[in-house]
Amino acid sequence: MIPITKPQFSREEEQTVLEIIRIGQLTRGKWTLKFKENFRDYIGAAYCHTVCSGTAALYIALKAIGVNSKEDKVIVPAFSFMATIDAVILAGGTPIVIDINETYTMNTAQLIEAIEKYSPKAVIPVHLYGQTADMDKINQVCKDNNVIVLEDAAQAHGAEYKGKKAGDLGDISAFSFYASKNLPMGEGGAILTSNPKLDEAISNWIEFGDHPALNLRITEFQAGVGYWQLQKLDENNEKRRRIAQIYNREFADLPGLILPHEAEGRKHVYHLYTLRHPKRDEILERLIEEGVGARVYYEYTLHQLRNAEHLDCEFAELCTKEVFSIPIYPALTDDEIDFVVSKVKKVVNEVS
């Protein structure tokens, strides 16, 4: 079975993990600092804080923004990993769920409607599958209405919008370094901002500051692995883009199949390569039988999952029934790519 994803490590990561064991500085050491500074500079933000997961990063970002009570509304897209909405609920706020568009990111027409109706404190655009949301429109409407923009960049390390990196497009951003991500550490996360007030608020939530705080630190092992993965991120993203190009070319004429759409001015880094087809369940079952590790991201919408207040999310609801993702990762060999291509062609043609 070709898995949906697989991390790839080399001698640098091995040697660094061994060095950390031998020296015995397991936390709060040089690798944590090195990773933090290098990731901050790579993204282009002024401040970076590492934490133990993407969920923790979203939660701390929301606390830093000042989301504390039910009156603090936060707009989220209907189609994302559950952490996007759970962080809002855990922070004490009220999530308001809106639909997505053909790029699987936030529907900006509905965002305007939701801001007028709910007067939210913050909006969380999710750069889903590796492609950024339409940030110019989102930033403009949020600025006009005094709403903070928190990017959920958990799936978008290295993705770009008009030449700027995801994570430096709003007021504050959250990343995940979970095992399957484009920059994997096993577990991990980061919060970035260029706003000194938000930076100070973040520090107060994760270091021992002026109110009770959580210990959400990463270890030196995670930071050491992350440092080397960061050095390879651009090269690995190019490999993902090349595979996506092959898939796009090979699948262009398959009946009923909708390919991922890279919007103009955006650089998609294909954390996931996601297709859509009305006969998704049948295709998924057949692909797995044929040895292709296809999976569904996501089988739920966030408003249905957490019974949240929402606008009409018809397209997201359709996506839960029609999307499926196929293997894409830098270590995929040409033979494996050919194998996936031939099986997808065979199965989609057969169900049509």
Ligand X SMILES: Cc1ncc(COP(=O)(O)O)c(C=O)c1O
Q: Are the C-beta atoms of 269 and 237 separated by less than 8 Å?
A: yes
Q: Smallest distance, Å, CB 84 to ligand X? A: 5
> Of 154, 225, 275, 287, which lies in the binding site for ligand X, with binding defined by CB under 6 A?
154
Q: Smallest distance, Å, CB 219 to ligand X? A: 15
Q: Is 130 in the site for ligand X (CB under 6 A)?
A: no
For the chain, the maximum distance between any two Cα atoms, rounded to a whole number of angstroms, is 63
Q: Smallest distance, Å, CB 152 to ligand X? A: 5
Q: Is 225 in the site for ligand X (CB under 6 A)?
A: no
Edge-first strand listing for the sheet containing 122-123: 47-51, 189-193, 172-176, 148-152, 122-123, 73-77, 94-98, 309-310
Q: Of 90 and 254, which has the nearer Cβ to ligand X?
A: 90
Q: Which residue sits closest to ligand X, CB atoms considered?
A: 54
Q: Smallest distance, Å, CB 82 to ligand X? A: 8
Q: Is 275 in the site for ligand X (CB under 6 A)?
A: no
Q: Is 129 in the site for ligand X (CB under 6 A)?
A: no
CA distances for 47 relative to 38, 164, 230, 280, angstroms: 11, 16, 17, 42
Q: Is 159 in the site for ligand X (CB under 6 A)?
A: no
- Look-up: residue for tokens 């990463």? 218
**Stated length of the chain:** 352
Per CB under 6 A, the segment of 28-36, 147-155, 274-282, 299-307 that binds ligand X is 147-155
Q: Is 152 in the site for ligand X (CB under 6 A)?
A: yes
CA–CA separation, 59 vs 93, rounded Å?
A: 11
Task: Find, among 260, 351, 268, the residue nearest to 297 by Cα.
Answer: 260
Per CB under 6 A, the segment of 51-59, 71-79, 253-261, 307-315 that binds ligand X is 51-59
Q: Is 53 in the site for ligand X (CB under 6 A)?
A: yes
| Alpha-carbon torsion (234, 239, 244, 245), positive or negative | positive
Amino acid at 45: A
Q: Are the C-beta atoms of 169 and 162 separated by less than 8 Å?
A: no
Structure tokens given for 343: 């099986």
Q: Are the C-beta atoms of 325 and 296 separated by less than 8 Å?
A: yes
Q: Is 81 in the site for ligand X (CB under 6 A)?
A: yes
* Contact characters 86-125, ligand X, x per CB under 6 A: ----------------------------------------
Q: Is 54 in the site for ligand X (CB under 6 A)?
A: yes
Q: Of 36 and 286, which has the nearer Cβ to ligand X?
A: 36
Q: Is 155 in the site for ligand X (CB under 6 A)?
A: yes
Per CB under 6 A, the segment of 23-31, 49-57, 142-150, 164-172 that binds ligand X is 49-57
- Look-up: residue for tokens 């796009």? 248
CA–CA separation, 7 vs 290, rounded Å?
A: 23
Q: Is 80 in the site for ligand X (CB under 6 A)?
A: yes
Q: Smallest distance, Å, CB 153 to ligand X? A: 8
> Of 84, 132, 236, 237, which lies in the binding site for ligand X, with binding defined by CB under 6 A?
84
Q: Is 59 in the site for ligand X (CB under 6 A)?
A: no
Q: Of 61 and 243, which has the nearer Cβ to ligand X?
A: 61
Q: Is 167 in the site for ligand X (CB under 6 A)?
A: no
* Contact characters 313-332, ligand X, x per CB under 6 A: --------------------
Residue ranges binding ligand X (CB under 6 A): 53-55, 80-81, 83-84, 126, 152, 154-155, 176, 178, 189
